[in-house]
Structure 1
Amino acid sequence: MRESAAERHDRLLALVRERGTARVSDLAGLLGVSPVTARRDVEALAARGLLDRVHGQVSWPRAQGAPGGVAGSGSGLVLGLLAPSATYYFAEVIRGAHEAAARAGARLILRISDYRPEEDRARTEGLLAAGAEGVLVAPGWRGPEDRLAYGDWLAELPVPAVLLERRAAPGTPLDGLDRVSSDHAHGVLLALRHLLELGHATPLLVARSDSPTALAVRAGYTEALGTLGLEAPRTVIDSVPAETDPEGFERAVRALHEAVASGRASAALVHNDVDAIQIVQRLAELGVRVPEDLALIAYDDEVAALADTPLTAVAPPKRRVGRHATELLVERLGAGSGGDEDEAARRHLSLLPRLRVRDSCGASRTTTA
């Protein structure tokens, strides 16, 4: 497979980071590229502040510290962030991390895995090669099998790491890392309790199963039903993206339509916003009105407010997850350089979602925590 420019840049940065200073002509030979390509790569990286370039040589920027070094105060720190996506849910997480890094006087560099967990390790090593002294990592896991197959390496990183919007299996090496995540079980409980208070019987769950958030919502549904003293969980209606599996999406809509038409259900929680909007549109074509026939709450609150009938939604604190994780990483780096006796104390921080009430559940608008 042909090496991408980003991968070549990572190799170049690793070489300079290891040597401290190198001639561009030497880098061309080590990389196996032409001098013109090496010079172009160096110019691009220098323009981004990742390298210092003087008279045919490049060196590791002084602002980033010596290779392997750790700054003490947070000023001038370089932080890395690996995310599975830069859009939808994770756009807000990244924004929060960037804001916190800026406040700390640190620079944040980003890699995207596109939900390919087998590439997480290489992309994180690319962040280290680019000068990251600590990393925020949201692995591209889709399910428990990915966590088992592509998780242990995180606990072996040579720099401080904070796990982002992911949870490790109890007792595993990964469980010893700092982590910051949304408490999705609490979010599901908020939604179900609200629907029950509006007079509905046990709400249905319509959910995907292709991400850690989706699986956490499913697990939270079972937990919430037990907490609320309801009957054994009804079968979850499996949802899939309409654009990639139109037949599967139609099956989900038909299952929900049948539950409403038969009188078995008058309320539902749907993960995620996009699916919820499309489901509401398709239900309308089948004669089911929201909220008159079905009270509906979406999960994520990315685009829920933009639906024809604005959707009540559970809003995980995505931006705050990014902020708190970055602040924790900066604190960890500072404690590590100062020999703080509490440096070894790790933290698992869960942030509570909120319920933003709009028109789709048939209740007056408000926000609850």
Structure 2
Amino acid sequence: MTSLQPAYIKMRRSLLIIELFILAFSIWAIFVNPKLQESPFMLWQTALFALVFISFILFFPVNFSLRHRRIYVILSVLSVIIAEYYEFISFALYCTFFLKGCFLLPRKEIITIAILFLIVISLSYISRVSSIIQYSQQIDLKLYLIPSRLITGYILSYSINCIFVLLLGNVWAEEQKSREKADRLTKQVETLAVDLERNRIARDIHDTLGHSLTSLDVQIELAQRVQATEPVRAQQAIDLAKKLSSQALDNVRQALGTMKRSNFDLTEAINALAEQNHPFQVIVDVRFPQLSLQSSYQLYCIIQESITNIQKHAQADRVTIESRIVVGVAAQNENRGTILEICDNGNGFDLDRPHTGFGLRNMKERVQCLGGEFHLNSNIGQGTQIKIFLPS
């Protein structure tokens, strides 16, 4: 069972007020009707019907099983037909019960029930049409003394009211369902946004700190290895380690503050990255069109992650970072955009073997966020090439 939705609670309150008003009006009509006042059973009939209808009005099994909801709709509508036979209740209550049925049962079921009760209530009316004629004669309503007209008018009136209620109920129910679906989608979007933000933060931490901490680890390891035999070189490694630790702090601040900056220069940032102390030569030849801050920062993180991976695994002595702007030719189905290539002459690796770690996955996710294409080509002993296309 599910909890009652706010939309249903609002609908329930509105129907509750309408139904209680109809019931109160029906009880009042009994006591002002001279014909009913003559009946000795009027008092206990009124009490019995009032008790039955109050039970159906106050009880609304929206959280119950389909079988219980089906029984509720059938019994509530049947009680109105019986009460209407004894001229107790207004036909409007019949409509409100059918309206609630539109929320409780599938559309086909409520339409089927409406058709079945059309037959039942028509037979009930036909069985007492003679008494209605006699009563009409007493109050001189000669216009309604023709049985066929009475029966046709009653059935037609019932059908029109029933169709109207069913249409109104279905429209109302569909509207409430659409609102609930929109609420669920909103919550799903919020959850997805939170997950995406968590992944973005994880990528930023990995890409920014990972590069600096890898370099820092290399320099500390070098200082430990040569501190006894080459103290000068060991001191240089320690000084560089201190510089790298400061750079790691700057990278963290940059990752947290980039989204608030409006002056991030991608070309300048790539050149600064290339000038850092690497065990390989970095050749930069880049040209970029006017990019958004988000696109510039994502490309920078991709390049940074590539250099970190090369430093960890490739054992390369040369890395090239190149980009070019593609103008695009419509006749040849070429897209406009930017092509970025990062190549090294290192060990390379087998693309068919599974790889652990976040590096390549993070780069692919960043490219996907920008709506671009990511291509990786590598062979053992022949280096690695990363090619990225970003549409403009």
* Fold agreement, TM-score > 0.5: no
TM-score bin (small chain): under 0.3
The structure, 1 or 2, with the larger RCO (C-alpha pairs under 8 Å, 6+ apart) is 1
Q: Rg: which structure is higher?
A: 2
TM-score, structure 1 normalization: 0.21
Structure holding more helix per residue: 2
TM-score, structure 2 normalization: 0.20
